[in-house]
Amino acid sequence: MESRLLRVNLTTGDCKVETVPHAMFERWIGGSGINNWIMWEHFLTHDVNCDPRGPDNIFVFGVGPLAATGSGSGIKGRITFKSPCYGIFGDSAAGGKFPYMVRFAGFDYIAITGRAPKPVYLHLCDGDVEIRDASHLWGKNSAEAHNTLVQELGDFPSLAHTLTIGQAGENQVGIASVVSDASRIHARGGGGCVLGSKNLKAIAVQGSGGVRVHNPRGLLNWSKDFRQKIDQNEAIYGFKRRGTLGAVEMYQHIGSHFWRNNQGNMFRGDEVRSDNWVKKFHKYSEVCSADCYIACDGRYKLDGTESEKAKKYVGESFRRPEYLTTASAAGALDLRDWAEVAHWGKVTNDYGIDNQDLSTSISFIMELEQHGLLSARQKAELFDRDNQSLEWGCMEDVEELMKDMVFQRNRFGEFFHNGPYYGALRYSEFRGENFMKYATYGKGGASFTEEMRPFPTWMNNMAVASRGADHLKGIGLIEKFQRRDLSMKYFGRLEAADLSTPVLKGACTAVVENQVALLNSYGVCLFHWMLDPGGYTPEDYYGRAFAEVTGIDRTPEELMRDGERICNLEKAFNSRLGLRREHDTICERWMFEPCPEGMYPGKVAADMFETVLDEYYEWRGWDQRSGLQTEARLKSLGMDDVAEVLAADGALVRA
């Protein structure tokens, strides 16, 4: 297994191609694992404490070895960088057609450094690379930029597929995102801000190549088995049409939504808490990538008859909102009409901004208004205009505040451009009064629009995830779905599936983080794994596909160690930046305010938080007091070189 890494220095204009050797896959699997290593190496020769918006930051795009091979397990491309909004490790995944076209264009990894003197875009075509003027694209939203490039570049040797940034990225808003083919978003961590700071508006790829596979017949057999397992899973039938919106009713039932800045955990309004999306709005089904056997994507086109608010958006067409888009709109902001939820998804994609941190920033300020903590004068100071309404569920108010943020129009935009935590800090400082109890956040100041308090593993994910509060690093499904079979499989005991005890919740976080790191490094979609066709075992079932593609034949135990190694590198990056145990934490609301409603009322995270965190460190082999990695554990993972760097930075425990 070998692949190609394109290095681009936008300051000098130098572009060079390197071979990614087989040994790199032996150690880092691919995808996010190799992205991480490229960034780690970069910051051995550049200041890790650099300004993430400066030319010394690096932006890496990578595709895992299973992507575009015909395995049918979906594709995720991954971007990796130092996060400008949280100041820590940053990465984000998205599906779609861009990732496989990168491979067909002759590359697997792209590492971008420096800063172009004027707006440019990168064009990759069948092994050739060109940095081109993008002055005509600057100022366009992500979809307009994509459409312009697709039209300009024609259809030879293929249609163009793109990564673009919208106005949020151009304006270096910390929570700006990168948009893939105008509709799939690398939302978290501020990758769009990094590209904006480099004056890089887009990457466009065209290609007619293919992908080498170690054992094509073996992969074909695996793929057939995978397809059969998916076709036999009746639950996937429903998932194909609903996608992650299938979670809406379940979350409503158990009380797992995030309503009005998590003052509640159930949606209000008959429209959004039911299955009406599928009945009224779903118009077309789509495949996300050509290499997916599920095809859960959908598209709407509004004719104005679907709901009361739909007539405002007649003709609007976009992807069906995913669950978290819905959670941020119908939950955090209390929008109660599916047409507005869908519109929120479209405009956040067009502007290129993360709807999690944006919605929780807006809902923070709406909650202050709700409690009478904003006078007319104070609102005028914040918004540079009189009489700004801050009404829950009002799309017009939401859109005004969104523009404030995207275009950096006033103090609200300036204060909150790194998300709710830093926004609340700056606003508290500005007012000389502490409002932090209304900010919802976890590690790094990142926010996430789901109810956490009844779910100890989920809560721990928010505190320890390397990229800041997030579910996709160690998604706590064993606990949330109370899977006793999986608790027995991985721990030989039942407690990981029992919501009432902290026992095995930290362990569960560590094990699932290792699994997810593997999946992200293979480059596949997490939903295939979540729907469990292969028995929920990325280290076993998917490991066989990895072997057929790369020739690297590992035992499940070895692959779990590979996943652990990848997690440890992300941790090491954050340790170099000064993160310790005290940074593995969550906000006051989740920690101390009782869960107000739903199936598990009265729960607070504080009851179990420290116990779970201690157990997590224990399973990781990290020092419980400082939260730092230990030399012994890193050496046992073959990471002596990483341990040396951490020791030099005073970020390693020698025990």
Partner 1 sequence: MITVHAQYQSRFREITRVEKESFEIAEPTMVALAAAITGKYGPAMTALLMDEDSKSLNSRGTLYLNSKGTRMYLEDGLADGETVFFMVGIAGG
Shortest distance, position 462 Cβ to partner 1, whole Å: 13
Our finding on whether 82 is near partner 1 (CB under 8 A) is no
Among 51-59, 68-76, 131-139, 322-330, which window interacts with partner 1 (CB under 8 A)?
A: 322-330
Our finding on whether 599 is near partner 1 (CB under 8 A) is yes
Q: Which is nearer to partner 1, 381 or 540 (CB)?
A: 540
Residues facing 122 on adjacent strands: 131, 203
293 phi/psi in degrees, rounded to 5: -85, -5
- What is the DSSP-derived secondary structure letter of residue 595? P
Our finding on whether 459 is near partner 1 (CB under 8 A) is no
CA 518/CA 521 separation, integer angstroms: 5
Shortest distance, position 250 Cβ to partner 1, whole Å: 4
Among 173-181, 323-331, 405-413, 416-424, which window interacts with partner 1 (CB under 8 A)?
A: 323-331
Contact pattern from residue 224 through residue 263 relative to partner 1, giving x for each residue in contact according to CB under 8 A and a dash for the rest: --------xxxxxxxx--xxxxxx-xx--xx---------
Our finding on whether 16 is near partner 1 (CB under 8 A) is no
Strands in 252-325 per DSSP E: 284-286, 297-301, 317-319
- Of 173, 492, 229, 584, give the one whose Cα is nearest residue 351: 173
**Where are the alpha helices (H) located in 296-390, listed in sequence order?**
323-326, 338-351, 355-370, 376-383
Q: Which is nearer to partner 1, 56 or 495 (CB)?
A: 495
What is the full DSSP assignment across 24-85? HHHHH-SHHHHHHHHHHHHHHHS-TTS-TTSTT--EEEEE-TTTTTT--B---EEEEEE-TT
* Number of residues located near partner 1, criterion CB under 8 A: 43
Q: Which of 343, 480, 544, 581 binds partner 1 (CB under 8 A)?
A: 480
Tokens 């129009």 sit at which residue? 409
Q: Which is nearer to partner 1, 131 or 530 (CB)?
A: 530
Contact pattern from residue 40 through residue 79 relative to partner 1, giving x for each residue in contact according to CB under 8 A and a dash for the rest: ----------------------------------------
CA 498/CA 482 separation, integer angstroms: 6
CA 422/CA 33 separation, integer angstroms: 29
CA 465/CA 410 separation, integer angstroms: 32
Do the beta carbons of residue 81 and residue 92 sit within 8 Å? Answer: no
CA 553/CA 324 separation, integer angstroms: 36
Q: Which of 176, 366, 526, 653 binds partner 1 (CB under 8 A)?
A: 526
**What value, to the nearest 5°, has the Cα angle with vertex 45 and ends 43 and 48?**
35
Q: Which of 297, 322, 354, 564 binds partner 1 (CB under 8 A)?
A: 322
Shortest distance, position 275 Cβ to partner 1, whole Å: 6
Shortest distance, position 478 Cβ to partner 1, whole Å: 11
Q: Which is nearer to partner 1, 362 or 497 (CB)?
A: 497
Our finding on whether 191 is near partner 1 (CB under 8 A) is no
Q: Which residues of 310-337 are buried (b: 16+ CB within 10 A; e: fewer)?
A: bebbeebebbbbbbbbbbbbbbbbbbbb
- Of 423, 328, 355, give the one whose Cα is nearest residue 86: 423
Shortest distance, position 502 Cβ to partner 1, whole Å: 17
Which tokens sit at 435?
Answer: 């409002």
Our finding on whether 324 is near partner 1 (CB under 8 A) is yes
Q: Which is nearer to partner 1, 407 or 600 (CB)?
A: 600
Shortest distance, position 325 Cβ to partner 1, whole Å: 8
Interactions with partner 1, residue window 325-354 (CB under 8 A): 325
Which tokens sit at 156?
Answer: 């030879």
Our finding on whether 477 is near partner 1 (CB under 8 A) is yes
Q: Which of 5, 38, 67, 472 binds partner 1 (CB under 8 A)?
A: 472
Our finding on whether 373 is near partner 1 (CB under 8 A) is no
Binding site for partner 1 (CB under 8 A): 232-239, 242-247, 249-250, 253-254, 275, 322-325, 471-472, 475, 477, 480-485, 497, 499, 526-527, 530-533, 599-600
